[in-house]
Amino acid sequence: MALKKIALAPGFNKQATASQAEGQWQDGDNVRFRYGAPEKIGGWEQISSSELAGAGRQTHNWSDLEGNKYTAIGTSKLLTVNAGGVFYDVTPLKTTVATCTLTSTTGSSNVTVNKTSHGLTEGDLLLFSNITLPGGGATGFTAANFTSVTYEVQSNTANTFIVQMQSNESGSGMTAAGNVDVKPYETVGPTFQTFQYGWGVSTWNLSTWGTIRPSSGILLDPGKWSLDNFGQILVATIHNGKTFSWNPGAVNPLQTRAVQISGAPTTAVKTLVSDRDRHLIFLGTETTIGNSATQDKMFIRFSDQEDFSTYAPTSTNTAGTFQIDQGTKIVGGVQGKDYTLVVTDRAAYLMQFVGPPFTFSIRQVGSDCGLAGQNAIIYANGMVFWMSNSGGFYVFDGTVKSLPCSVEDFVFDTQSGDLGINLDSGSELIATGHNPLFSEINWFYPKASATQNDRVVTFNYAENLWTTGSLNRTSWETSGVFPLPRATEFSTTRIPNFPTISGASAGSTILYEHEKGTNQVRNFTTGAVTSAIASSIESGDFDLDIDGDGEYFMSMNRFVPDFKYLNSTCNVTILLRRYPNDSQSVSPLGPFTINSTTDKVNTRARSRLAAIKISADQVSNNWRYGLFRFDANADGKR
């Protein structure tokens, strides 16, 4: 029989059954579409060998007035700046806890720090200073042992906390002796999004997005940051916390920590800079500046123009406030071309600079389009895109519109499997990234059984199509300042090495540069390790259209590979099904290994329905696929 071709439409259709998706792709991993054809995504390479403490939640690139380029990363424990491939710890410090005493035991690395109402809790980071140790052989530790590294609190009571030294006590032991000052790091928040402990925190009835979940527990947001730059100055706000600045133009800036902005609100959901008119905008902030107890999550406050230390409105400045009312809280916002889009858990508002005397106008532009999480929104290609808490995606291009999505049920409905979003501990972990090199918007999220991001759903706005995959990133920053995108990956099991933390608990973040080569390259302290990126794509089912669709079994004798490029080998698998509800099986001679010189492949595939799967997992593999051509004959009806 003559060769037939199956033209497969670009993008994934996961809304349909396999047989309903004839002529379409249905599933895959680490693939994208260009010019209508599927191909493996680009590789990524770790920047430096540093693994940061905590989960990376926000990444921001910018440059100073001299053209020096920086990447700031806010984790659940730190604020860091990467300059020239080297990380610097610029995490702000809390008020010093002075005149503490120490207790140690011979042969133990644990040291108890004694101070009434010290205020530190397990997991907090700290520095020691002004060390005075007792003599007489009470301790073998030196002052340098305390001041050379950062420490993590191992456990605590109201008046004591324990740290782990890098060696054991070799002296007779201290008992509430010596004198030391403690400089705690600012607390960012939990690594995970969880329910607060307490009676009645059940989370039953989680089957679909948007289902009411009876619970008396309070959902604790994970620790995260909002990062932006006011000119060359980095502005960093802890979610529901304080706002800090770090100035690369200061003396020895990379040896200087971020400091709290004087005169600014001390609690806010998020901050951002209105670029054209240069106001610092606080979303979900205090009605009384400096009083965190007055935080109103539907209240907006903005600074005087060109002055992020002045917030009290007067007749001679442009500072001001707004109260919005549709929803219970502002979830996030983003700066557009000449506007700021603010989205609550229910509605969208457009905020635009209009000049004196009102400074900004604000009006509601959308309803029932609430934002899923603080970082689930992004401005790209002249539009704002966001993932909604109502189970879908939206776009603002002058009007708020629902964004049709061919993988929507897969992402939002956990009834169909484990790969949909984790509804309870996922919304505030969502990270969104723009990859303009390929016209892609990525939403990274945790699947139903996960507590950290391990899935991605991608929208290609140039070709208007969707894909899904297993790429796990906790933050993403677009190319522009740097030629390639940068993104963070978090591991719950790795031990961080930056900063050097004595007693560090597991959980570290690494920074990758994306679209670089074809592999994953990890830069360990012992050297680079290259590993393959496994990629695959699978079609919907197709059948013979003789005397009806699928009336006859087909006997597939051969197929002809069609790759635009293939620099190694790929496996092509013919997947078979007798009826639409049957499980798939693999054709007897498959999978078939294909290289760039393979002209045809003989098969022994017989079934009513068939699908193709292309996969590759070799180092340095790269491919783009074209059409599937095959030779098949009718072979009975049973």
Burial of 409 (0-12, 13-18, 19+ CB in 10 A): middle
With 80 as the cut, is the pLDDT of residue 360 above it? Answer: yes
> Is the Cβ–Cβ distance between 605 and 29 less than 8 Å?
no
pLDDT in tens, 160-207: 999 999 999 999 999 999 999 999 999 999 998 876 544 333 333 333
Domain-located, residue 621 = yes
Distance CA 108, CA 105 (A): 6
The letter for the amino acid at 50 is S
- How much is the pLDDT for 1? 59
Choose one of 146, 165, 184: the last residue of a domain: 184
The residue range of the domain holding 105 is 97-184
Token pair in block for residue 215? 């619970």
- How much is the pLDDT for 205? 37
Domain-located, residue 529 = no
Number of separate domains in the chain: 2
CATH at residue 551 = 2.60.120
Average pLDDT, integer, range 46-71: 97
Domain-located, residue 119 = yes
Look at 15-29, 255-269, 517-531, 538-552 and tell me which has the smallest mean pLDDT. 538-552
Domain-located, residue 47 = no
With 60 as the cut, is the pLDDT of residue 208 above it? Answer: no
Q: For residue 293, what are the contacts with CB-CB under 8 A and spacing of at least 6? A: none
- How much is the pLDDT for 629? 93
Token pair in block for residue 10? 């670009």
Domain-located, residue 455 = no
pLDDT in tens, 69-109: 999 999 999 999 999 999 999 999 999 999 999 999 999 99
Confidence class of residue 415 from pLDDT cuts 50, 70 and 90?
A: low
Are residues 23 and 106 located together in one domain of the fold? no
- How much is the pLDDT for 3? 86
pLDDT in tens, 503-531: 999 999 999 999 999 999 999 988 899 99
Distance CA 605, CA 111 (A): 69
**Terminal-to-terminal C-alpha distance of the chain:** 20
pLDDT in tens, 210-248: 444 444 456 789 999 999 999 999 999 999 999 999 999
> Is the Cβ–Cβ distance between 103 and 178 less than 8 Å?
no
Confidence class of residue 580 from pLDDT cuts 50, 70 and 90?
A: very high
Are residues 629 and 542 located together in one domain of the fold? yes
pTM: 0.94
- How much is the pLDDT for 211? 40
Domain-located, residue 342 = no
With 50 as the cut, is the pLDDT of residue 315 above it? Answer: yes
Domain-located, residue 150 = yes
Choose one of 163, 184, 205: the last residue of a domain: 184
With 80 as the cut, is the pLDDT of residue 370 above it? Answer: yes
Domain-located, residue 108 = yes
Distance CA 221, CA 50 (A): 26
Are residues 615 and 545 located together in one domain of the fold? yes
* Angle at 422 (CA atoms; ends 416, 428), nearest 5 degrees: 150
- How much is the pLDDT for 203? 34
Look at 80-84, 405-409, 538-542, 555-559 and tell me which has the smallest mean pLDDT. 555-559
pLDDT in tens, 380-409: 999 999 999 989 999 999 999 999 999 999
Average pLDDT, integer, range 615-627: 96
Choose one of 150, 184, 218: the last residue of a domain: 184
Are residues 33 and 105 located together in one domain of the fold? no
Q: Which of 130, 179, 187, 129 is nearest to 153 (CA)?
A: 187
CATH at residue 138 = 2.40.30.20
Mean pLDDT (the chain) is 93
With 90 as the cut, is the pLDDT of residue 343 above it? Answer: yes
Token pair in block for residue 505? 């608990």
What percentage of the chain exceeds 70 in pLDDT? 95
> Is the Cβ–Cβ distance between 466 and 457 less than 8 Å?
yes
- How much is the pLDDT for 416? 62
Token pair in block for residue 233? 């100055």
Are residues 31 and 102 located together in one domain of the fold? no
With 60 as the cut, is the pLDDT of residue 209 above it? Answer: no
> Is the Cβ–Cβ distance between 373 and 430 less than 8 Å?
yes
pLDDT in tens, 124-154: 999 999 999 999 999 999 999 999 999 999 9
